[in-house]
Chains A and B, each alone.
Chain A
Amino acid sequence: MYDLSVITNWIHELLLSVMPGWLATTVECVAIGVALLLVYALLALFYIYFERKVCAAFQCRLGPNRVGPMGLLQSFADMFKMLIKEVIRLKHIDRFLFALAPYLVIIASMLSFAVLPWGNGLQILDFNIGIFFLIAVSSIGVLGILLAGWSSNNKFTLIGALRSGAQMVSYELSIGLSVLTMVAFAGTMSVTGIVEEQKDLWFIFSGHIPAIIAFVIYLIAGTAETNRGPFDLPEAESELTAGYHTEYSGIHFGFFYLAEYLNLFIVSGVATLLFFGGWMPLHIPGWDGFNAVMDFIPSVVWFIGKAIALSFVIIWFKWTFPRLRIDQLLNLEWKYLLPINLFNLVLMVLVIVYGLHF
């Protein structure tokens, strides 16, 4: 497996040779920031296109096919439309909070974006409590949604925001507990550490029953956390028009839109990290030839490919199931997922203590 940290170290050395250390660090920070924004925007555009094509296939349609070959440029065109649209100034709103809300949402998703294990040696933020940091920053998003709903001074957005608050706070428990289960299995909170642990076998295989339970719960809770169907109550179109972002327009709406798609990637990315080995190639113990072939596929491709495959499943949910009702949604979390999760954590601890895993 080629270690990409060789390249990053080489860039670091190169910069140090021409400028002082503090400047080199600043230049690197700016460069990484720009790269992050670029990847962020490109991935969002890809996801918009991807979801449209997938849902079109489910619905016996063609999807975008006019702008560019196979409609590839459709999401670029949409992005430019979004950028040049007027940001409508509303009366009777809390201006400051109204403007702040989309930034909070996008900051939350961007910070979590930085923690993902992009490739061998390609972590942007890598420290010993990586997973903990990820859960902490991803919770900022709900604040933005609550503020957006409240500051719009509109009854629909308010109901949307309250639903969202109830939903995200509840499902964060499930996410936290299933992550905790896997952290217990890995024995570390560091993102690199977790990936390294899965060198021989991904956790979904080595952790067998408790890992699979944790994965299913994580996928359900993650779908709910990203406000996607069948858990898209905060923006239930047929009930609350567009929910908390009804009053937003132009680039501010674009931020919510981007963040929604990127959260989808982040949820699948974290699932990849915890259950499918992050950027680790598929290794089967004993099959050395196979493992060697797998190693030739670059780690970045492994990570992004796995994340997109998981996103496909989440998109599949959305275009198949009807929406839940708020009380059913909370019932599902508090009466089913949470107790199962707690039980699963105990089960995982037993598996670890008695060494029942592979």
Chain B
Amino acid sequence: MANIQEKITKLFPDATFEEGEILLVNIPDAKWHDLAKCLKEDADLHFDYLVTIVGMDWKDKFGCVYYLRSTTDNVQISVKVTTEDRENPMLHSVSDVWNIATVYEREVYDFFGIIFINNPDMRRLFLSIDWKGYPLRKDYDMSPENNPVPRENERQEDVTYTYVENENGKVEKKTITLFEPNDFVVNIGPQHPATHGVLRFRTAVDGETIKKIDFYSGYIHRGIEKLCEGLTYPQTLHFMDRMDYFSGHHYHHALCMVYEKALGIEISRRAQVIRVLMDELARIASHCLFLGTYCMDLGATTMLFYTLRVREQILDIMERTCGARMTFNYGCIGGVMQDLHPDFVKDVKALLAVLPANIKEYNKLFIGNVIAKGRLENVGSLSREDAISYGVTGPSGRASGWACDVRKTHPYSIYGELDFEEVVYTEGDSMSRTKLRIAEMEQSARIIEQLIDNIPEGEYCVKVPKVIKLPAGHWFQMVEGCRGVFGVYIESDGGTSPARLKLAPPCLPLANVVDHLTRGSKIADLITIGGSLDYIVPDIDR
């Protein structure tokens, strides 16, 4: 940590530092782009993975906090860049350093109105293009007259904007058309069987070949981050089931951990074991459903039922303990909501008994099928460099050879003591993404096997204060969801509700990389690639 600080000070004397759980670098906007380049390209630093960009409004100034991670030694660092101009806030873009920054900066622009100079695509990301105001600004006027419920079709634009500095240092707005005039643009979505939700791909095709995809989201944007600012801390937990609805347990786990970290609460070993068990059961269920729906997308409908068989069994286990099959709402600050069902151990053992036979069947039926091989192998190959630059984490990132499992890189809860392997493949194609998920199911089963016979006695939830107030400060926590790294950033001003809660979901980068992967492929490959990335739309839109 110290030598990173020394190195940055030597190159950028303007930088100031704040120690914390993660080193925070303050840098003026003018130097930010140079620092970003240096952070990424310097062989010793090598911060090549941009975890997230947190847009912030501190009332006196706007700014962004960039969370960066090095993929060589998994060191984390955060960088804070601010601007005091409230009328026309502008920062320099780092979209040329990390590809994923393009879309993260769009999100910040959408919510805070901060313009990023040199970002090639400065459109809103989630809100409609006629939306007035920037909702996450602290002085945003929420009155419904400003943005009445639209009675007409949403206005559409085929252009995007970019802001560039000319020689005099003045910023100019430029218009770029998305598609060429003669392009045959097919609208795949928002209502389409293969987008797995209301997501839209405007696809320019030449015959069956895809030329370009413009990814368009926000149809089910609910403004969870904004809503959370008006709720108490325990209330914010309930949204975690409603983003990636298969990773509800993981997301609860993340938010609970960040609150517990802030409050200094130590939870019981029993609660930790229960949380990990639930996480891994949910991971198996999620990967099962992935496999089933993926095969269905490819036309092999029957596989869906074979995978749902296992998932049903897991949902039954969940139902008995959590009382729900979908929105479990099980984690709470201090532990979990209620104790395990008396039959839990028996049910889980029954599941573990049938799982290997089912996995064998999936491999035989689908992975070994000659048509499936033809459809999946060498389709949508993502290199390791691109996976990192586009922030593609989770099973999709690991299929490209990037060992990005947070359970291994930054072990949380009791994962450090467990014996399991991080499955990493190197091909990066759709086939390896599919196979990797099946292999992960086996590893999750291995974790459950280790824990199921020694669930310690103890309280499932420790006593916490009735009114929860976080001390002033900020915290960041990551967990490994079913689809990748889920990050939570929380900033508190000492009150009963968060000043800023930023959720960094794994699915936004996954949907964003579709354009890069599909160029030059066939329309059918869009379904293959999109399916193998396994994004969940409510997770993108939040």
A interacts with B: yes
Residues of A within 8 A of B (CB): 55, 58-61, 155-156, 159, 162-163, 229-230, 232-233, 236-239, 241, 319-328
B302 with A320: CB separation less than 8 A: yes
- Beyond A60-B305, A239-B523, A319-B302: 18 further Cβ-contacts under 8 Å? A59-B304, A59-B305, A155-B184, A156-B186, A159-B186, A230-B299, A233-B524, A238-B296, A238-B527, A239-B526, A241-B192, A319-B301, A321-B300, A323-B300, A323-B524, A325-B522, A326-B208, A328-B375
The one of A155, A156, A236 in contact with B299, judged by C-beta atoms closer than 8 angstroms, is: A236
Return the 9 tightest CB-CB contacts between A and B, nearest first.
A323-B299, A322-B298, A322-B300, A238-B194, A59-B305, A238-B297, A325-B524, A155-B186, A322-B299
A280 to B19 alpha-carbon distance, docked (Å): 90
- Chain B, 365-405, CB within 8 A of any chain A CB: 366, 369, 371-372, 374-375
Residues in B whose Cβ lies below 8 Å from that of A163: 208
A229 to B303 alpha-carbon distance, docked (Å): 14
Residues in A whose Cβ lies below 8 Å from that of B194: 238-239
A185 to B306 alpha-carbon distance, docked (Å): 45
Q: Tell me if B525 counts as interface (CB < 8 A to partner A).
A: yes
Q: B36 to nearest A CB, angstroms?
A: 40
Residues in A whose Cβ lies below 8 Å from that of B526: 239
Closest residue of B by beta carbon distance from A242: B193
B525 with A325: CB separation less than 8 A: yes
Closest residue of A by beta carbon distance from B299: A323
Residues of B within 8 A of A (CB): 184, 186-187, 192-194, 205, 207-208, 295-302, 304-306, 309, 366, 369, 371-372, 374-375, 522-527
19 example contacts (A-B, Cβ-Cβ < 8 A) are as follows: A55-B301, A61-B305, A155-B184, A156-B186, A159-B186, A159-B208, A238-B194, A238-B296, A238-B298, A238-B527, A319-B301, A320-B302, A321-B299, A321-B300, A322-B366, A323-B375, A325-B524, A327-B522, A328-B374
Of the candidates B304, B372, B527, the one having the most CB atoms from chain A within 10 angstroms of its own CB is B527
Q: B293 to nearest A CB, angstroms?
A: 9
Q: A262 to nearest B CB, angstroms?
A: 22
Residues in A whose Cβ lies below 8 Å from that of B527: 238-239
Q: B527 to nearest A CB, angstroms?
A: 5
Q: A-B contact count, CB below 8 Å?
A: 83
A155 to B187 alpha-carbon distance, docked (Å): 8
Q: B173 to nearest A CB, angstroms?
A: 32
Q: B185 to nearest A CB, angstroms?
A: 8
A59 with B301: CB separation less than 8 A: yes
Residues in B whose Cβ lies below 8 Å from that of A233: 524
A238 to B522 alpha-carbon distance, docked (Å): 14
A55 to B301 alpha-carbon distance, docked (Å): 9
Residues in B whose Cβ lies below 8 Å from that of A238: 193-194, 296-299, 527
Residues in A whose Cβ lies below 8 Å from that of B298: 238, 322-323
A327 to B296 alpha-carbon distance, docked (Å): 20
Q: B265 to nearest A CB, angstroms?
A: 46
A328 to B374 alpha-carbon distance, docked (Å): 8
Of the candidates B193, B309, B375, B524, the one having the most CB atoms from chain A within 10 angstroms of its own CB is B524
Q: B209 to nearest A CB, angstroms?
A: 10
Of the candidates B298, B366, B522, the one having the most CB atoms from chain A within 10 angstroms of its own CB is B298
| Known A61-B305, A319-B302; contact A324-B193, beta-carbon cutoff 8 A | no
Residues in B whose Cβ lies below 8 Å from that of A322: 295, 298-300, 366, 369, 371-372, 375
Residues in A whose Cβ lies below 8 Å from that of B184: 155
Q: B4 to nearest A CB, angstroms?
A: 48
Residues in B whose Cβ lies below 8 Å from that of A325: 374-375, 522, 524-525
Of the candidates B208, B299, B304, B523, the one having the most CB atoms from chain A within 10 angstroms of its own CB is B299
| Known A229-B299, A238-B298, A326-B522; contact A60-B208, beta-carbon cutoff 8 A | no
Q: A104 to nearest B CB, angstroms?
A: 25
Closest residue of A by beta carbon distance from B374: A328
A237 with B523: CB separation less than 8 A: no
B302 with A58: CB separation less than 8 A: yes
